[in-house]
Structure 1
Amino acid sequence: MIAKLRYEYVRSLMRQNAGWFDKNHSGMLTSVLNENVEKIQEGIGDKLGVLVRGFTMFFAAIIISFIYEWRLSLVMLGLAPLSFLIMAFQGMKMEKSTIKEFCNIAKAGSVAEESVMGVRTVQAFNGQIEMVNRYKNELTRGKKYSLIASFWSGMMEGFFFFLLYVFLGGGILYGAYLLKSGVLASPGNIFIVIMSQLLGAYFVGLISPPLMGVFKARVAAAVIYETIDRVPEIDVYSTVGEQLENPKGLVEFKNIHFQYPNRQDAKVLNGINLTINPGETVALVGHSGCGKSTTAALLTRLYNFDTGTVTIDGVNINEINIQNLRKIIGIVQQEPTLFNDTIAENIRISFPEISQERMIEVCQMANAHDFIEALPHGYDTLIGDGGVQLSGGQKQRIAIARTLARDPKILILDEATSALDAQSESIVQNALDKAAQGRSTIVIAHRLSTIQNANKIVVFDKGHIVEEGTHQKLVSLGGHYANLKEQYKWMIAGFICALFRGLELPACGLTFTYVFESFSMLQESPDEMMRRCLNALWIFLGIGIGSWIFQCIGSICYAMSSENLTLKLRIAAFQNILYQDAGFFDNIANSPGKLITRLATDVLNIKSVVDCRMFLVTHSMTSVVISIIIAFFYSWKLALLGTSMLILLAFGEIFIAYKVMSKNIKIARNDNAGKTAIEIIENVKTIQLLTLENHFINHYLVALDAQKTLIKKKCFLESFNNCVAMSFEPFMYGICYALGIHLIHSNRNAPADAFQAITGILLTAFAITMSSSYFPEFVKANSAAKLLFSMINRKPSTGDSNVGEKIDISGTIRFDKVQFTYPQKPNQPVMTNLSFKASPGQTIALVGPSGTGKSTIISMLERFYDVNGGSLKIDGKDIRDLSLEHLRTQMALVGQEPKLFSGTIKENICFGLAYVVTENEIDQALTLANAQKFISNLPSGIETEVGEKGGQMSGGQKQRIAIARALIRNPKILLLDEATSALDSESERAVQEALDKARKGRTCITIAHRLSSIQNSDVILYIENGKVEEAGTHSELMGQKDKYFELIKKQDING
């Protein structure tokens, strides 16, 4: 059932439209999947069985009681309606708190996912502490609501036991009255009624922990089913709609107005009118954020426009079946999304029927075949999460091949060649030009040289089309286009309360013996019998008050202890993850999906044994020890028999526990379903655009099915253990009663002594049975703790980031015969003999084919990895001897794919700073990054929320914010990995000028495929095969007429 629920939830997620995802962050959805489903599994698993057994026992006790003595049963039945009122009130209070608790935990999960998925950016800007604090703040808010729920649980459960003992004492006194008045002839029926109702009511009283689990499961299920039952406005599973057969590709936008659902104050498109004729190539250009990518998103129906119409071949796209629509449209996005599979499977998912020959053909068109064949496993190479094992250019080329494989009638290229080096770009651009023939093509570009040959160029500005025409026509107009060119103290207190609560059952047993002796005085002194039964009432009243007090205090203490412990465990694990080296994340066992899943589920499993359930187990075990001692005191023979049988039961359960624990660890380590679900949630837009919903839901189903065998074996062992524990209790009762009767008959024990010994043994068995229902949780917690603490205790290979020399560097960098291979690819050397030096204030440009080690150089300067051989020195000191944290405060990285985090623009710019910056400093950084203008046009300015992963910003806007984030630090070493690749021409020129100024007085290492941007560098290094093949200034390298010269020639071909 749980697998089915996970399946339906993930399937429903892929059904939702883009506007819904703008409001529901992927991190929160992942948290809901992990934590809410875990709560549901708890609530409908053994907890539901315990509840059913408890209520069955309760009603059976009432029936038996009425059969033997209806008058007394009727008096004691008054407890039943009060019990249900208490549970109803408890459920109402807990539900409110639980909903709020889950909401905050989901937000914390979103922070965790965002951080782990963008961990290199977090590390590069020393943002670990900031993200940990965000995570902690959300968890702390959730903790408050969890404590409120625990308070009401403890208060109501304690109140129930108070009422139980009041009714019990009252029932005994009323039974004595019936005996004295002659209505009853024997006290035997009184004991049957009282013991039956005691056991039934006591079981109901102890169902608070499983009842809490069921209530939480109910709340969790409501959140899950809200998503499952939601039918979006744009339904990818809908079978209705027109099927376009052999479309020609005539696309028309008529008076389109649009604003994003969660940004109603900012209109993106204002009355767009655009026609794209069959076979025509239309380029959309303009400043970042002007509406170009939004126009493409509307054509693929990621969003529905507000007013106007969009048609294909005269058919309104709202009337076309959504799957059919997306199958005739191919899209290559600015930031390519690949999946954790082989290269061949990443291409095949677009068109499953593709032959090997056709696959090779499209890869050759995308200039991907040669580098794929050079890999040890060729097309069967696993590329890791998001294609982490490949360079940016290699990922982009595979994404292009994937699109070409489905031979779409309409092609959308959203900066499709921005990540390619000059050699690859020229070939791929020619291939795309050929691919565009015979199909309608929309090209979104910032680099105008790539679209000069378009049939029509459309210029966007602030949501309007301001110019339209050919390249020559628009240049001649001289308009916009031309311009574009503390937990232990709580646990101890709870433990003490549990010890006192553990005296309850033994005290109850002794009081029953006192009552048993009192009833034997019926013939001799009826008045004395009544007096002693009245004393018993006061004793039970005292037991009830004690139970109420200690239950309430103990529950709160254990809840506080468990919340503090789980908070610390979550934070410790999360923090340690953020400080790990890159090799840790390259390991498939530590994929972001698996880490996020472990962070959610392992802590929940540990929490289950240190919250109110631990309180129940503690006081039950206390009752066991004291009851056994009392039993030995009254009859060592009976006690020895009962204890021997209990020891036999304990050994059996320990054996089963070992088996279950090994199964739990195996299940956790082979959990690919969680990783697959996160990959789906993270890339849902790409999946929808490629119409791969069925492919991925089947892939997820396979991952779920792969675990079913292990889970079934584990469930069988847990069920078998539960059956043995439950059936052992009546079996032991029968054996002990048989021996007791024999001892009384042979005059070896007085009846009262035998009764007390048997009562002690029965209470012991009852307490153990109650505790055994939580046996599976202790086993799961043990398994989870091993996995979690192995994560917490792992030391990164780069060492403690705060240990080492803290020097103010000048910026001298020296690579000396550096050798390096990635930890997961030990047989594929990336650097073989790399040597070069950068002096303070010098700009070093790295050029060369994709995948030859350029980005690796930056990774080593940031110490994501350490060198295997040779040395890397900063200011003459080995980089490993310097404090990593302090070193990163003097460096800044602007990557090819900018990573922003949920929060405002200001918060992203100041991310990771250990000091407060002034508004003037922020303005200066924004001005340098050419971001001031577009930010000032936003309704909330610098306080505008960027959305999850910066999703509310365009690619160019995100890049400029990332540049401002780097410049505000005034770094001594500036690392630029294609820092201007996502910018439009005007912004690129302005930012390039700003970066030229920013480079003065600091060392700069820049990677660029657009060679025009690095011609003024002090030194240009041509990197190939893991070493420097050519070095010199632009003019020097051009004079050599070798590899760099060829690169320049290829790029000149493109203009």
Structure 2
Amino acid sequence: MFQVIERVPEIDVYNLEGEVLKDVKGEIEFKNVDFSYPARPDVKIFSNFCFHVPEGMTVALVGESGSGKSTVVSLIERFYDPQGGSILLDGTDLRNLQLKWLRQQIGLVSQEPVLFGTSIRDNIASGKDGATLEEIEQAAALANASSFISRLPKGYDTLVGEHGTQLSGGQKQRVAIARAILKNPCILLLDEATSALDAASERLVQDAVDRVMLGRTTVIVAHRLTTIKNADVIAVVQHGAIIEQGKHDELLQSSIGAYSQLIHLQQMHQVEESNEDVDGMVTRLSSQNQKPGSYKLSRRSSSFNSESAASMHSLSLQKTGNEPTTRAKKGFFLHWCRPKVVEDPELGQDKTVAPEVSIFRLALLNKPEALIYLVGALAAIANGCLFPIYGLLMSNVIKTFFETREKLKKDANFWAAMFLVIACAAMVVIPVQLTCFSIAGNRLIRRVRQLTFKSVLRQEISWFDKSENASGAISARLEGDAVYVKSIVGDTLSLAVQNSSSLVAALVIAFTATWQLSLVILAIVPLLGLQGLAHVKFMKGFSADAKVMYEEASQVATDAVGSIRTVASFCAEEKVMQIYNEKCRSPLQKGIRQGVISGFVFGTANFVMFAAYAFCFWFGARLVQQGQISFGDVFRAFFAISMGALSISHSTGLLPDVSNAKSAVNSVFALLDRRSKIDPSDTSGLIPSSGSVVGNIEFRHVGFTYPSRPDVKVLKDLSLFVKAGKSVALVGESGCGKSTIISLLERFYDPDTGHIYLDGADIKKLQVRWLRQQMGLVGQEPVLFNTTIRENIVYGMSGNVSEEQIVRAAEAANAHKFISELPDGYETCVGERGVQLSGGQKQRVAIARAIIKDPKILLLDEATSALDAESEHIVQEALENVMVQRTVIVIAHRLSTIKNADLIVVLKNGVVAEQGRHEELLRSKDGAYATLAKLYTAST
């Protein structure tokens, strides 16, 4: 801990030394820059890289994924420093400028927008200190975010959830853009800032961004023509070097140039607007009377084809209670489980108090270690007896000093030998005691964490939508609860057994010496016990409250660390610390109260103990004076009782741990006992007798609201049929319910009304694990795990997966080439959430992960939105190959992605506005789809 506290970062935002330029013009220059990421020092990103951005100009960086575009943005923000060369702002090396001031001059909107788990108002306001509501609303209006925010019941005060997961991708992006607009920066960095927006939103937001860019130095990282074509300078980056730059029209003059080829690839995927615009197509199709011919999406044969096409009758189902042969890892689904609306913490938050749990239930968890506990308990009993025996020896030693010289010498040797015997016994029993209880306790920690994590993974997705179940809180439970639980069956239990045996042995010795004195002192012991019980009662309430408070603080820390680039770019370190301190203030105040009460209890316990000593001496003296007992009997009883009292005082010191442990035990078992509404580990559902599916999907009068927002209707009596082996594209504005359909199909949630059928069977009756095994999902924001590329690709697969299968899946996703170029190849660790890869590279690995699964149903939620034109072209072909004889649901807002679908469904406000093929929908000039098509064409 002190290493972290004392560590001085190489790039320190709190270091206020450095230059502050009086007038920022905005000229940026990279001079002979060498750079490789610290996590992969052997992979050279830039070597002698030179790049110039004139003041007030807009420069667009284009190129394939992984070419170094986003690295330019990271270096300008000083997230990293180059190993060689220099980066200049208005002729001054960035390393010579004050870091906090530098980042205040820069506005950043990233490809994967990161929001904090606070309100929309606070997220936008983080772009500027002391921002007024008027300024926030103005920034939201410029980012085209005010319309959807105003429709929320709490408006700008609506909580966005952990990492903004309660908003759709487009909504998150617009809030992030509003945050950057409010900052009013001198330099604007846009890293795929509009990639998550639909055509209508993109056009409006792009207009807003264009206005913000006026007079500012702007660096754009993008692959869409509509985003980059108006830039003052376009630079093509390839393998860490600029191979071509110029204006859009200039670069297009070279037919063999890199930029010209990228544009050509992109235009190949657009609607035939190069020969005929959408308006003309709409007019032509509207004038035709004949029905269009049957149209099917062109698909090539693939090695990933299903073995055979099943017939289209309903599934023959059978009940099963056995484990399925294919086992999917549950963690894969948790990252695609977030709802696409915002959360109101006052609604649907059924916080329940953990019920009291008997300590015997915890003991049952430790049943496999019963023999170890038995050995440890015997050692603890022996250790406990040593203290009263020590008291007995002390009383005899004192008595010895009153004997004659000859007898003193003889008895002194004997009692000294007895002390050595006690020392030898202690040397044996204490290590055995501590070792046994430590082994049993650590095994329990592992078991509790495994069971708790297993229980977490089996919970339905709506459980994760609640703030108390955010990732930071869950991590705190897994870490803290298990440790507290261990304390009650480890150190606490060990000392309890030891001290109990010590007390019993002390009383036996004392009663043997003088029953009169011992009986009086025994009457005082319950007073100490009553104080202990009162203390436990108080501490239990404190522990439960403090536990929740520290979980909230832990969540703030988790959000900040997970979003450290966003925190750094907006210089929000002090603001995050302020929030963290506020979360820690209540536990601190309660801790002071705890300390006062604990001190009073411990002080009173010691007062009673010493008062007992005083009474013991007084009453013993009376008994000696009356001739009922001897001097030696008083000392034997006194020392024995003293050792027993010492044991009780030790036990009193354990009371805080006991109360914390009881609270942790209740929390653990509350989670273990909770029955998930949609349990992926439940094997009691139905599976088809053939073990495969045909792929017919039907939504029949489906109504749905997210549990966290029951007053917002997402889907309203939606009916939709997807024919087996066909592709269906869902289009519509952000937040209209497209991703919700995928969430319902994956059974992340269940509909409130209506039914969803797979081959005629209600999916609620199907085995959840088997159902999800039939589906491959590629989301808009690819989530990779902090392990190797190989393990990410095979994630969720059962059994052994051959190297050939992995390579084929990567080749199909156009990922094999860049993976092979890495020094460690498929063994390269991608870092937390895949931070070591570019956005496009992450997306291709995610696609490979879906391909290798060989699913019968493919769900693509903006699967190619993060790819450059060349990669998109190749991956789109790969996906079309994989789509052969599979039911496919595609969510997209690019016409190039959806126009060849067998069926296009336009959603608006949770209902199907219209559906049909591309040409059919364009017949209606005023139709929703035709309108979207026109917007898309206008933007391109």
Q: TM-score range by the shorter chain?
A: 0.7 to 0.9
1:501 has 2:383 as partner: yes
Shift, 1:629, TM fit: 2.8
Structure 2 distance, partners of 1:942, 1:956, is: 17
Structure 2 distance, partners of 1:308, 1:518, is: 86
**Counterpart for residue 302 of structure 2:** none
Shift, 1:516, TM fit: 5.5
Structure 2 distance, partners of 1:436, 1:515, is: 92
**Counterpart for residue 853 of structure 1:** 737
Shift, 1:641, TM fit: 1.9
**Counterpart for residue 252 of structure 1:** 29
Structure 2 distance, partners of 1:814, 1:488, is: 54
Worse-superposed segment, 691-700 or 611-620: 611-620
Structure 2 distance, partners of 1:461, 1:901, is: 27
Q: Which AA in structure 2 matches 1:771?
A: S
1:633 has 2:410 as partner: no
Aligned ranges for residues 83-94 of structure 1 at < 5 Å? none
**Aligned pair partner of 1:683 in 524, 540, 563:** 563
Structure 2 distance, partners of 1:291, 1:371, is: 35
CA contact (8 A) 2:535 2:655 kept: no
CA contact (8 A) 1:660 1:717 kept: no
**Counterpart for residue 373 of structure 2:** 491
Shift, 1:976, TM fit: 0.7
Shift, 1:457, TM fit: 0.7
**Counterpart for residue 549 of structure 2:** 670
1:746 has 2:523 as partner: no
Q: Which AA in structure 1 matches 2:204?
A: I
**Counterpart for residue 543 of structure 1:** 422
**Aligned pair partner of 1:480 in 258, 261, 274:** 258
Structure 2 distance, partners of 1:690, 1:634, is: 76
Give the aligned CA root-mean-square deviation in angstroms.
Answer: 1.7
Shift, 1:934, TM fit: 1.1
Aligned ranges for residues 62-461 of structure 1 at < 5 Å? 224-461=1-238
1:724 has 2:604 as partner: yes
Structure 1 distance, partners of 2:387, 2:741, is: 69
1:942 has 2:720 as partner: no
**Counterpart for residue 576 of structure 1:** 455
CA contact (8 A) 2:549 2:583 kept: no
Q: 1:489 to 1:309 in 2, by over 3 A?
A: same
**Counterpart for residue 473 of structure 2:** 594
**Counterpart for residue 357 of structure 2:** none
1:1053 has 2:938 as partner: yes
Residue 503 of structure 1 aligns to a residue whose secondary structure is: helix
Residues 231-290 of structure 1: CA deviation (Å, up to 9, x unaligned): 222111111112123312122222222111221111101222222222211110001010
Residues 55-77 of structure 1: CA deviation (Å, up to 9, x unaligned): xxxxxxxxxxxxxxxxxxxxxxx
Structure 2 distance, partners of 1:453, 1:232, is: 40
Worse-superposed segment, 705-714 or 909-918: 705-714
CA contact (8 A) 1:448 1:985 kept: no
1:905 has 2:786 as partner: no
Structure 1 distance, partners of 2:32, 2:629, is: 99
Residue 609 of structure 1 aligns to a residue whose secondary structure is: helix
Shift, 1:930, TM fit: 0.6
CA contact (8 A) 1:664 1:714 kept: no
Structure 1 distance, partners of 2:734, 2:621, is: 88
Shift, 1:527, TM fit: 4.2
CA contact (8 A) 1:849 1:1024 kept: yes
**Aligned pair partner of 1:699 in 568, 572, 579:** 579
CA contact (8 A) 2:173 2:194 kept: yes
Shift, 1:751, TM fit: 2.8
Q: Which AA in structure 2 matches 1:634?
A: A
Structure 2 distance, partners of 1:494, 1:811, is: 59
CA contact (8 A) 2:389 2:640 kept: no
Structure 2 distance, partners of 1:907, 1:232, is: 32
Structure 1 unaligned residues grouped into runs of 5+: 1-223
Residue 686 of structure 2 aligns to a residue whose secondary structure is: coil
Residues 157-188 of structure 1: CA deviation (Å, up to 9, x unaligned): xxxxxxxxxxxxxxxxxxxxxxxxxxxxxxxx
Q: Which AA in structure 2 matches 1:651?
A: L
CA contact (8 A) 1:498 1:615 kept: yes
CA contact (8 A) 1:474 1:481 kept: yes
CA contact (8 A) 1:855 1:977 kept: yes
Structure 1 distance, partners of 2:371, 2:766, is: 40
**Counterpart for residue 761 of structure 1:** 641
Structure 1 distance, partners of 2:15, 2:679, is: 53
| Percent of aligned positions that are identical | 39
Shift, 1:498, TM fit: 0.9
Structure 1 distance, partners of 2:124, 2:394, is: 76
CA contact (8 A) 2:113 2:173 kept: yes
Aligned ranges for residues 567-966 of structure 1 at < 5 Å? 567-671=446-550, 672-799=552-679, 801-803=681-683, 804-807=685-688, 808-966=692-850
Residue 466 of structure 1 aligns to a residue whose secondary structure is: strand
Worse-superposed segment, 576-585 or 452-461: 576-585
Aligned ranges for residues 33-72 of structure 1 at < 5 Å? none
Q: Which AA in structure 1 matches 2:797?
A: L
Residue 429 of structure 2 aligns to a residue whose secondary structure is: helix
CA contact (8 A) 1:802 1:886 kept: no
Structure 2 unaligned residues grouped into runs of 5+: 264-367
Residues 108-150 of structure 1: CA deviation (Å, up to 9, x unaligned): xxxxxxxxxxxxxxxxxxxxxxxxxxxxxxxxxxxxxxxxxxx
Structure 2 distance, partners of 1:557, 1:968, is: 47
Residue 70 of structure 2 aligns to a residue whose secondary structure is: helix
Q: Which AA in structure 2 matches 1:503?
A: C
Residue 829 of structure 1 aligns to a residue whose secondary structure is: coil
Q: Which AA in structure 1 matches 2:540?
A: M
Structure 2 distance, partners of 1:442, 1:508, is: 79
Residue 1031 of structure 1 aligns to a residue whose secondary structure is: strand
The number of aligned residues is 829
**Counterpart for residue 355 of structure 2:** none
Residues 167-211 of structure 1: CA deviation (Å, up to 9, x unaligned): xxxxxxxxxxxxxxxxxxxxxxxxxxxxxxxxxxxxxxxxxxxxx
**Counterpart for residue 44 of structure 1:** none
Residues 730-771 of structure 1: CA deviation (Å, up to 9, x unaligned): 221111111010111112223333332222221211111122
Residues 540-572 of structure 1: CA deviation (Å, up to 9, x unaligned): 333322222111111110010110011111111
**Counterpart for residue 48 of structure 1:** none
Structure 1 distance, partners of 2:108, 2:369, is: 53
Shift, 1:953, TM fit: 0.5
Residue 863 of structure 1 aligns to a residue whose secondary structure is: coil
Shift, 1:460, TM fit: 0.4
Q: Which AA in structure 2 matches 1:365?
A: L
CA contact (8 A) 2:395 2:636 kept: yes
Shift, 1:623, TM fit: 0.9
Q: Which AA in structure 1 matches 2:178?
A: A
Structure 1 distance, partners of 2:790, 2:696, is: 32
CA contact (8 A) 1:487 1:562 kept: no
Q: Which AA in structure 1 matches 2:777?
A: L
Bigger relative CO (Cα 8 Å, ≥ 6 apart): 2
Q: Which AA in structure 1 matches 2:939?
A: N
Residue 524 of structure 2 aligns to a residue whose secondary structure is: helix
Residue 502 of structure 1 aligns to a residue whose secondary structure is: helix
Worse-superposed segment, 715-724 or 729-738: 715-724
Shift, 1:436, TM fit: 1.1
Structure 2 distance, partners of 1:947, 1:693, is: 23
Structure 1 distance, partners of 2:390, 2:15, is: 64
